Structure 1
Amino acid sequence: MGSGYRQEIGQKQGLFINARMRQSLQILQFSNTELQEFLANEVEKNPVLEPMDDSDAGIPPPQSKTDDRIPSLPHSNIGPGSQNWTSDSGLDDGVSRIAGTVPPLRERLFEQLILSGCSLEEREIGAHLISGLDGAGRLSILPEKIAAWLHVPVGHVDTVRQRMMRFEPAGLFALSLQECLRVQLEERNRMDPAMAKLLDHLDMLARYDLKGLCQLCEVDLEDMHGMISDLRSLNPKPGMETTDECLTAVIPDILLEQSPASEWILELNPVTTPNVVLNSALITRLSLRAQPKEHAFLSEHLTNANWLIRSLQQRSITILRVATEIIRRQEKFLTQGPSGLVPLTLRMVAESLGVHESTVSRVSANKYIATTRGTLPLKFFFVAALSGENGEMHSNAAIQVKIRQMITNENPASPLSDDIITTRLRKDGIDIARRTVAKYRESIGFPNSVQRRQRAVGSSGFL
């Protein structure tokens, strides 16, 4: 049978995203900084748009007959009981998936923090460390302040910081240039006593005192040039390593306060709330004098402006709805700390609000909430979990605590194997595989049973 070209006619259904829908999805996922830059570009391109005066920021503008301004958003009052929780109605974007972009550096760091298998307390410490990064990637908040704020030992904060300094890109969360470079050299296995002395005397390197450095480090000139070459290959400002903009101070998108009546009040931060409106005076003036071609130009830009304002309104309402549902489910965290976090997934929030899971994902990306325990990313409140025999959910952090307690209280001469730990957890109603137990055990810093037994025997023999 010969091959050739042919034409066929058929029908099929599909989901297509037009430019406006794509713009709405991008606006929903923007951080407050990205949104401000986007709106500045839109105001520059569209003559019928104008920024709201700073003096009017956060004040709901009056409603016009054409509904061209963003309506005021009521606060979300959250009481101690579930019956007192309220949430404004919002709109779903209606689209399940679009191609994503590379997440900002803080988002990637928080994902690495979650994947590191840290406890809930360590997650809270890590979230504060991430929020405290400056433009160069240094830690702008001293560990002592974070420890005092969270009522934890300073050593615990520094332990988490030391671990996070190995995150990609290495060298973040350092308190000094020397510490930043030291971590990067250690990750490359290039740290030795001579390099340590060089790092402690960078002032001599700045003066290019190679002779003095050679004597101090006890190396010849050729080795010194090699060490300097290694230093030049490092990044002194890892916070600027990526393609996204320089890290800026975290400004919360949502404010959470407790009223005198012990009710939690959620509201959008007026500083980051979109503040563009239609230039009504210009529209009226052009409408009266415009020619047919100018009317078409004005109509096109007016339609785009109204669509943008509706998208901003939808974004504000959706953020408030999602944040309200998250805080409603994690209310105990506000009073009990990390131990009050309960298992929570994107799907659970999406099903409660009647929106798609991707909508919750976009809202929680790059958004921060100011709570009584500091400014935290919305993703902080999502805690992975495993299902139990009776359908009960158990958070991964809670399971790690159980494993830690078992190993801590075990007989050193007869340590518990992963199989025994798995059996005990299953008796407690936690359906978990042995390999998952092994992964959790390693993440909290415990070797396997054989190594623990050898360590116990070695310690007893030494004594």
Structure 2
Amino acid sequence: MLRQGFDLKLGQTLSMTPQLQQAIRLLQLSSLELQNEIQQALEENPLLQLAEDTDDSRPEPEIELAPTADSSSDNKPDNTTTVDAPDDASPFDQDIPDELHMDAEWEDVYDTRSSNSDGAGDNSGFLENQGDTADSGLQEHLLWQIRMSNLTSIDKQIATVIISSLDDAGYLCDPLEDILESFDQDLLIDLDDIEVVLKFIQQLDPLGVGARNLRECLLIQLAHLPESRLLFKARHLVEKHLDLMERRDYKEISKRLKIEQGELEEILLLLRSLQPRPGSAYSATAADYIVPDAYVRKIKGDWVVSLNAQVTPNLQVNQYYADMLGQVKNERDSTYFKSNLQQARWLIRSVESRNSTLLGVAKAIVERQSAFMQYGEQAMKPLILRDIAEELEMHESTISRVTTNKYLYTPRGIFEFKYFFSSQVDTDTGSSCSSTAIRAMLKKLINEENQGSPLSDNQLTALLNQQGINVARRTVAKYREAMSIPSSHDRKALLPT
């Protein structure tokens, strides 16, 4: 028998407010995505604007790290302040302020100017349109040459179709029979016509474009070199024994061509001067620029971390429109102003929280990896997300978001935040070594090896073991392949690369 009644149960549920959702979303955006987000908000919200530079504006102090081993505590930079991580360094693990009620007064609104740790730069360079600096593509370059040629109108049509069938490397992808079928039969075009136009295209710049395979591409380029015995041997090698050259079977090549090692070296040097991918130089892919989110500089022996001011400029509420809030009598207009005021406040607070978290994580990374800043990859220390999360009292997921698509400018180049995290490998001394440092050691050993007798994975493992780093051969092979370094057999060459 069923009975009705009331039960009282206690439970906890996590409810994400719109402010917190926005803060988390902004945290995982890259610098370019954040700029687009801010630009869109500036265009849509009249109560939001970029902060104007004023004489009484006070730049925020830069965060200074603890002195390194070679620094002196009494040599502090005059323009920096040593501070500890603030108590609210984990804004995404704490509550975002409550929503702004529609009946709130202007005086209730939280300080509307966003903070920026760098503070030295202005916003003049913010959100500037990047010009398209990519070169014209391969197809456009070839079509321009076709338009300037003396080909008939029919041949130019054929050339246009052939050029449209080229890939980025300049090779012809479609069979000539398929190209022929794409034309109207009334044009009376046959396969020979297409072959003739293709031969014409193959003589255009870049030389070798329109080839159907590597052998044809190299032979086209060799045909334009002055005749000589060396050229004759090189052409014969490409025509008959290209597979042997791909396998680096130089002994067999010398036997087939009946030449000595010295002459073979000259032939290989000649072939290496050719371009196996002639279309690559005319790629229309735009350059992918990386804008650092933070900078680390060594000032008087101390590593100083600061944010990039131009990536996240100062934002503030438009005072002119904010003053109109109390003057608006129309309910619809009043709701519009208050809604936009609330959205502006949320965005400013979210950007501030993002800056605070980003700077805290950057500082913690540099503190842990100061040896890398000083000596390079081989001094990289093991580091995992949990280490930074525990230090900043934040969740690992927050650290993961803030280290994705964020870049740090260091004296050794620009690196993604995640680059500084790597697993550890135990050593004979009882200490640990990061996988990044091991990769750097492997790369150095391979760069210094005798190219005539490259080091095998077993030999590389033995050399690392001699340095106190206990790694298995399969680990060495895995790291080598991750760096796109060929095996010892493939690295063997008669000539230096």
Superposed, which structure 2 residues align to 1:307-346 within 5 Å? Answer: 307-346=346-385
Is 1:439 matched with 2:485? no
Tell whether the 8 Å contact from 2:325 to 2:338 is kept in structure 1 after alignment: no
Matched, 1:40 2:46: no
Alpha-carbon displacement from aligned partner over 1:384-410 (angstroms, at most 9, x marks no partner): 433458874322243346667888999
Aligned to 1:238: 285
User: Cα deviation per residue 1:145-180 (whole Å; 9 max; x = unaligned)?
Assistant: xxxxxxxxxxxxxxxxxxxxxxxxxxxxxxxxxxxx
**Hey, what does 1:353 align to over in structure 2?**
392
Structure 2 vs 1, CA of residues 328 and 237 (structure 1 numbering), >3 Å: closer, same or farther? Answer: same
Would the alpha carbon gap of residues 323 and 408 (structure 1) be closer, same or farther in structure 2, given more than 3 Å must change? closer
Matches within 5 A, 1:247-326: 247-248=288-289, 250-259=290-299, 261-326=300-365
Select 1:366's aligned residue among 390, 396, 405. 405
Q: Identify if the C-alpha distance between structure 1 residues 300 and 408 changes in structure 2 by more than 3 Å, giving closer, same or farther.
A: closer
Contact 1:418 1:434 in 2 (8 A): yes
The Cα shift of 1:319 comes to: 1.1
Unaligned stretches of 5+ residues in structure 2: 1-8, 74-81, 95-129, 136-165, 176-198, 211-219, 225-276
Does 1:200 find its partner at 2:247?
no
Equivalent residue letter for 2:283: P
Task: Choose 324-333 or 279-288, whichever is displaced more.
Answer: 279-288
Does the CA contact (< 8 Å) of 1:88 and 1:317 recur in 2?
no
Shift in Å at residue 33 of structure 1? 2.7
- How far the C-alpha of 1:48 sits from its partner, in A, is 1.9
Measure how far apart 1:329 and its partner are.
1.6
SS in 2 for 1:184: coil
The 1:401–1:81 alpha-carbon spacing in structure 2 relative to 1, beyond 3 Å, is: closer
Shift of 1:364: 2.4
Letter in 1 for 2:368: R
Confirm or deny: 8 A CA contact 2:47 2:344 kept in the other structure: yes
Gapped regions of structure 1 (runs ≥ 5) = 1-9, 61-71, 96-132, 139-180, 205-213, 219-229, 240-245, 459-463
CA-to-partner distance for each residue in 1:88-113, whole Å, 9 max, x for gaps? 32124239xxxxxxxxxxxxxxxxxx
CA spacing shift, 1:353–1:271, aligned 2, 3 Å: same
- 1:396 is aligned to 2:435: yes
- What residue is the counterpart of 2:425 in the other structure? 386
Give the AA of the match of 1:200.
P
- The yes-or-no answer on 1:184 pairing with 2:169 is yes
Q: Which amino acid aligns with 2:348?
A: I
Structure with the largest fraction of helix:
1
Alpha-carbon distance in 2 for matches of 1:347, 1:76: 22
- What is the alpha-carbon distance in structure 2 between the residues aligned to residue 91 and residue 57 of structure 1? 32
CA-atom RMSD, angstroms?
Answer: 5.2
**CA shift at 1:12, angstroms?**
8.0
| CA–CA distance in structure 2, aligned partners of residues 280 and 394 of structure 1 | 55
Structure 1 residue 31: Cα displacement? 2.7
Q: Which amino acid aligns with 2:169?
A: Q
SS at match of 2:399: helix
Partner of 1:88: 85
> How big is the shift at 1:316?
1.0
CA distance in 1, matches of 2:304, 2:450: 50
For 1:331, the aligned partner's letter is S
Return the index of the structure with the highest Cα Rg: 2
- Cα separation, 2, equivalents of 1:279 and 1:198: 59
Question: 1:35: Cα distance to partner?
Answer: 1.8
Shift of 1:43: 2.3
Question: For the residues of structure 2 that align with 1:201 and 1:446, how far apart are their CA atoms?
Answer: 29
The number of equivalent residue pairs is 326
Tell me which moved more, 416-425 or 24-33.
416-425
Tell me the equivalent position of 1:50.
49
SS in 1 for 2:479: helix
TM-score calculated relative to the size of structure 1: 0.54
| Equivalent position SS for 2:313 | coil
Query: How big is each residue's C-alpha offset from its partner over 1:295-345, in whole Å with a ceiling of 9 and x where there is no partner?
Result: 433333222222211111111111111111111122223332333322223
Structure-2 change in CA distance of 1:283 and 1:81 (3 Å): same
CA contact (8 A) 1:58 1:271 kept: no
In structure 2, do the counterparts of structure 1 residues 434 and 364 end up closer, same or farther at CA, with 3 Å as the change threshold?
same
Query: What amino acid does structure 2 have at the position aligned with 1:35?
Result: L
Query: Secondary structure, in 3 states, of the residue corresponding to 1:93?
Result: helix
- Check whether the contact 1:370–1:376 (CA below 8 A) recurs between aligned residues: yes
Query: Cα gap change, 1:292/1:346 in structure 2, threshold over 3 Å: closer, same or farther?
Result: same
One-letter code of the match for 1:31? S
Q: Which moved more, 1:422-431 or 1:296-305?
A: 422-431
> What is the letter of the counterpart of residue 320 of structure 2?
A
| 1:77 corresponds to | 64
SS of the equivalent of 1:266 reads strand
Instruction: Give yes or no for contact 2:170–2:209 (8 Å, CA) kept in 1.
Output: no
